[in-house]
Chains A and B, each alone.
Chain A
Amino acid sequence: MSKPILKINNFSLAYQNLGQSFPALKNISLEIASGEKVALVGPSGCGKSTLAKMLMGLIQQQIKTDGQILWNSEDLTKFSQRRWQEVRGKEIAMIFQDPLTSLTPHIQVGKTLTESLKVHNLLGNESRINKAVTLLEEVQIPKADQRAKQYPFEFSGGMRQRVMIGSAISCKPQLLIADEPSTALDVITQEHILSLLREVADHATEHAMILITHDLAIVDGLCDRVIVMEQGEIVEDRATKELIRDPQADTTKQLLAAVPSLNTPIFPKEMAKDAPSLLKVENINLIYQSSSGLFKKRTESTHAVKDVSFDVKKGEILGLVGQSGSGKSSLLRAILQLKPATSGHIFLDGKDIMGLTGEDLRQTRQTMQLVFQDPQASLNERMTIGDAIAEPLLNFKVCSKEEAKERSREMLKQVALDPNWYYRYPHQLSGGQRQRVCIAKALILKPQILLCDEPVSALDVHVQDEILKLLEELRETYGLTMIFITHDLTVVRRIADRIMIMKTGEIVETLGAKEFLEKATHPYSKQLIHAIPQIEVEINKDGN
């Protein structure tokens, strides 16, 4: 084995706040040799991002550290500001989680891309644009020469992450840290980014890489070694293949179990052919129009939903899958009449609800409730969660204030929260608990149909699992009918009875959940299935 470039000896770190100490890393010891590709895995809050930021000197808070981190036999806990500037970008580079916010919006992409080279004086001004174009080509962005002069808003999420990767590898750093580089992206884009990372890793055999993730499935094939962390400690540190075949620590086992798999057995409900439809959508079209022009009016129209027809039976869960921009949210808006469809019909329980206005529309909405993606943003921070849940009852004047309170407590119990939390505020809750509140709020009016727009996408795998279980339970209790929108095939496969795939405004395929994997014929569906990262192991059947 070649000499270690990074050597961490008994390193501990605690955040200091108002005289209190919050330990984040405890007695970490590890070595990384040049050329090694290591994955740092653990549930959220285990300290893996803190460690990564420590390696870059990017921790802003007050901290107290103990032990050494040797970077090429220099202790980096004692680096000066100037030394850090030399190291960052040139010796150690980092790719961040959210590509949408990590690029400076008012700086041309080409300039961001070559900034590392520029600040480390590895490049003169004249060749900057050329270098940017080369780098863009390296990360496989087409029309690189035009793209280099564009701004980040003209790039999709996946392309922005490519730019981040290009910028990180521009100075050929000895160590590349990738902090959840694909978590914020949809499956297909995730696959593309991972294969790019794999290429980068193969290309730079002498450079080490640390991949931080909570998803063990993406580690396989990218990293030789996995370090598992839990509550600030390293619980397992072994070769990838070995670890996947024979996990030792409980955390590792949990992480492996949490990997969404296409092999888990599922039990979708088969709906009778002649079962009555609760919601029937016929030939819905939704066209957004925007006009521009000073003297001559030019109208641009976007056909977001194209001639979509489907129906949902009473008690059925229909999964709607598609990438961002596929029109699934627009379809949802059309159904709720938040953005009325341009043409078509929507029947709810046999009644045409298209074109309803005023009070009729308001009453109809009572029967269709929505759960949003981001539980952080969809609750009023200044309202107690109990009041938030009771609010719809009062809006529709269903019952008295006292009874609303009582029902809200009952609902809290239903979503497995303590009814005594009535007076808590959203900021006192975790993401998963907030989403429970959102679900409770949607269910309190006893809607006929629940529309869920990516309800678990913002949550980590573990919490995702809990929320899905809750939805399954609630379905049993209430006989709920649901439309479940997501970009994640593993999630939808688990909860939905029927799966509908949407691409560029059209429904390309609808199949029962059970037969979906085998019978999907549309190339796009196949691509979606293929993109899901899977752990390939020869499982020892006898359990040895």
Chain B
Amino acid sequence: MLQIALRRIALAPITLFVLVSFTFLMIRLAPGGPFDGERELPPEVIEALNEQFYLDKPLPKQYLNTLKQAITFDFGSSMKHRDRTVREIIREHLPNSIKLGALAISIAICVGLVAGMTAALNANKFGDWGTMLICVIGISLPTFVFGPILQLIFGMKLKWLPIAGFETPNQIILPAITLALPFSARIARLARTGFLEVLKEDYVMSAKARGSSMARILIQHVLPAAVRPVVSYLGPAIAGIVTGSLVVEMIFLIPGLGREFVEGALNRDYPLIMGTTFVYGSFIICSNLTADLLNRWLDPQSRGAEE
């Protein structure tokens, strides 16, 4: 187990290296440059800018520079907002995104597991159909529809929660729910299948025969085996929440990193694209790795195994 963990962690930098190289290539291949604005700049200004941002150097040199920036996590200043470094932008916006994402994934896991378990215990009865219907709606309803609906109901009509902004703690609730909805629906479906599968196992019956209560059976005997498909999904889900936060950030006017990510791409702001991609990439790698290791750990047989 430890060996596998070490080996996988050792692989992470390689993945990041590939990611950085690929991003570098994509940026340069995309048409347009950072200073192709509507208003044409005088050639000497562009020249000065190019020099400042290393763009006058041959590509291999630029590439090496980017690699160096990635290793030191110093991508220089943004090309659009030249007074701020990429590091500053990330430091300012990432915590907001993390707060939102962490709350959303927690909601998604809790709601998803409970819903999935309820559905499985009421298999093919009303409780099951009802839950699964809500899940289908949850998966198919786009965030930009669900978000405004919540704003309308809880913000405008009931006036329980603020519509937008990110200054007070209660402003995070609506966006977190919006962001969590499709993920909790998917988790619920996976959990339902997982629970149904495990509830059929012989060991559940023999636990029952020992006099265990239903709650004990569910938590001790069923849950660790039933959540495995959910855990496998958590890697991609966290990635999805991190990148998917963009729309929610727009709707609820949250100064998060998602917005910077998209704006960076639209503005051809090379250092900003590199920086945000690097951060997102590390996040996704870490969450996948954690999910993988957690899944292995849940199965005692692979916990001891070395391969």
Contact = CB atoms under 8 A, between A and B. Distances in A.
A381 to B, nearest CB: 18
B89 to A, nearest CB: 39
Contact of B211 (A88, A105, A164, A292): A88
Contacts of B202: 96, 98, 101-102
Interface stretch (B153-161, B165-173, B213-221): B213-221
A86 interface: yes
B6 interface: yes
B72 interface: no
A88 B206 CA distance: 10
A81 B213 CA distance: 9
A93 B209 contact: yes
B298 interface: yes
Chain A interface bracket (under 10, 10 to 19, 20 to 34, 35 or more): 20 to 34
Interface string A73-102: 000000001000111111001101010011
Interface string B179-218: 0000000000000000000000111011111111110100
Nearest to B214: A81
Interface stretch (B27-35, B109-117, B299-307): B299-307
Interface residues of B, number: 27
Contact of A103 (B206, B208, B225): B206
Contacts of A115: 207, 210, 212
B221 A104 contact: yes
Select the residue from A56, A115, A164 with max chain B CB neighbours within 10 A.
Answer: A115
A46 to B, nearest CB: 20
Contact of B6 (A106, A151, A294): A294
Nearest to B204: A104
A167 B214 CA distance: 19
Interface in A271-308: 290, 292-294
Contact of B209 (A56, A101, A151, A293): A56
B254 to A, nearest CB: 40
A94 B210 CA distance: 8
B287 to A, nearest CB: 23
A102 B206 CA distance: 6
B210 A88 contact: yes
Nearest to B224: A106
A367 to B, nearest CB: 37
Given A103-B203, A105-B203, A294 B211 contact: no
B224 A96 contact: no
Contacts of A89: 209-212
Contacts of A416: none
Contact of A151 (B7, B201, B301): B301
A120 interface: yes
B220 to A, nearest CB: 7
A294 B11 CA distance: 13
B179 to A, nearest CB: 32
A96 B212 contact: no
B137 to A, nearest CB: 30
A101 B200 CA distance: 11
Nearest to B202: A101
A422 B29 CA distance: 61
Contacts of B213: 85, 119
Interface string A98-127: 100111111100000001100110000000
A293 B206 CA distance: 38
Interface of B: 3, 6-7, 201-203, 205-214, 216, 220-221, 224-225, 298-301, 306-307
Minimum-distance CB pairs A-B, first 9:
A89-B211, A151-B300, A101-B202, A89-B210, A88-B211, A292-B306, A116-B210, A104-B203, A102-B206
26 contacts: A58-B209, A85-B212, A85-B213, A88-B211, A89-B210, A89-B211, A93-B209, A93-B210, A94-B209, A96-B206, A102-B202, A102-B206, A104-B220, A105-B203, A105-B299, A105-B301, A107-B221, A115-B207, A115-B210, A119-B210, A119-B213, A119-B216, A120-B211, A153-B300, A293-B306, A294-B6
